[in-house]
C-alpha cells in the first residue's frame, strides 16, 4: 500500500488495467502511479506494438515526493514539453493525473485501449456496532422523564411540608399526578431491556 502523492490521506488501490498491469490508482483524485516500465507496457498493450520511447523533457524539481521512495520527484514534459508530469528519477516511476493518460496517448497517436483507469475504493472495514442505537435513545428519554418526575415530586413534597407563609405556590394535585406519571413511566422505560 502506498500513499497518494497528491492526497496525503488516500492510499493507492492496486487496479489491474489492460493486460493485467497492476497499476496503483488513487480513489480520491483518480491519479495513476506507474512503476518503471508500466506506462510503456500499458501503451504497448493498447496499440499492440511497443510504444516509442517516452522522453522526459526539461525536468525541474517537483513539489511532489515519490510515493515509492519518498524522494523529491521531477516535473517535466512527457513526450511533449507541454505535457507536464511528475516522474521519480530514482525509481523511474511516473505519476499521471486522471486526464494525462489520455493526453499521452493522443500525443503518441494511439487510439485503442483505455484512457483512464476505473478505480474503486478498497472496502472499508466493517463498522463497529453503533453505541447509540434506538434502544439507548429510548433509555435516555426514560431517564429524562424519570428525573423530571422526581424533580416534580420533590418540588411538591417541598411545598407540602413547608410552612404556608414561606412559599408562594400551593401544592397542586395536577402537577403531583403528572410527576408521578413521569417518574413511573421513566423508571419503567429504564427497567426495560
Ligand atoms: Zn490522490
Ligand atoms: Zn521513486
Res 14 pLDDT > 70: yes
Question: CA geometry: angle at 51 spanning 49 and 53, to 5°?
Answer: 150
Q: Per-residue b/e over 22-50, b at no fewer than 16 CB within 10 Å? A: ebbbbbbebbbbbbeebbbbbbbbbbeee
Q: 73-77, 157-161, 167-171: which has the minimum mean pLDDT?
A: 167-171
**Distance (Å, rounded) from C-alpha 158 to C-alpha 170?**
10
Q: How far is the CA of 166 from the centre of ligand 2 (A)?
A: 84
Kindly report the pTM of this predicted structure. Answer: 0.60
Rg (CA), the chain: 34
The dihedral sign for the CA sequence 3, 6, 10, 16: negative
Report which bound ligand comes closest to the CA of 34: 2
Spatial distance between the Cα atoms of 17 and 173, rounded to a whole number of angstroms: 78
Q: Look at residue 124 in the predicted model and tell me its pLDDT.
A: 64
CA 94 / ligand 1 centre spacing (Å) = 14
Ligand at minimal distance from the CA of 71 is: 2
Mean pLDDT value of segment 77-98:
94
Least distant ligand from the CA of 87: 2
The C-alpha cell 523533457 sits at: 57
- Ligand with the closest atom to the CA of 97: 1
pLDDT at 84: 95
Amino acid at each position: 500500500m502506498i500513499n497518494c502523492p497528491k492526497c496525503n490521506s488516500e492510499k493507492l488501490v492496486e487496479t489491474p488495467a489492460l493486460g493485467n498491469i497492476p497499476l496503483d490508482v488513487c480513489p480520491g483524485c483518480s491519479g495513476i502511479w506507474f512503476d518503471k516500465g508500466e506506462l510503456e507496457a500499458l501503451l504497448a498493450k493498447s496499440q499492440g506494438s511497443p510504444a516509442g520511447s517516452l522522453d522526459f523533457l526539461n525536468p525541474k524539481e517537483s513539489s511532489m515526493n515519490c510515493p515509492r521512495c519518498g524522494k523529491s520527484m521531477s516535473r517535466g514534459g512527457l513526450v511533449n514539453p507541454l505535457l507536464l508530469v511528475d516522474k521519480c528519477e530514482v525509481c523511474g516511476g511516473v505519476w499521471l493525473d486522471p486526464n494525462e493518460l489520455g493526453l499521452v496517448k493522443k500525443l503518441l497517436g494511439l487510439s485503442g485501449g483505455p484512457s483512464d483507469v476505473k478505480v474503486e475504493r478498497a472496502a472499508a472495514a466493517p463498522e463497529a456496532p453503533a453505541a447509540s442505537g434506538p434502544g439507548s435513545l429510548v433509555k435516555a428519554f426514560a431517564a429524562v422523564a424519570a428525573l423530571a418526575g422526581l424533580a416534580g415530586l420533590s418540588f411538591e413534597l417541598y411545598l407540602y411540608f413547608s410552612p404556608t407563609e414561606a412559599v408562594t405556590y400551593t401544592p397542586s394535585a395536577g402537577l403531583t399526578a403528572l410527576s408521578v406519571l413521569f417518574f413511573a413511566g421513566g423508571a419503567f422505560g429504564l427497567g426495560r431491556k
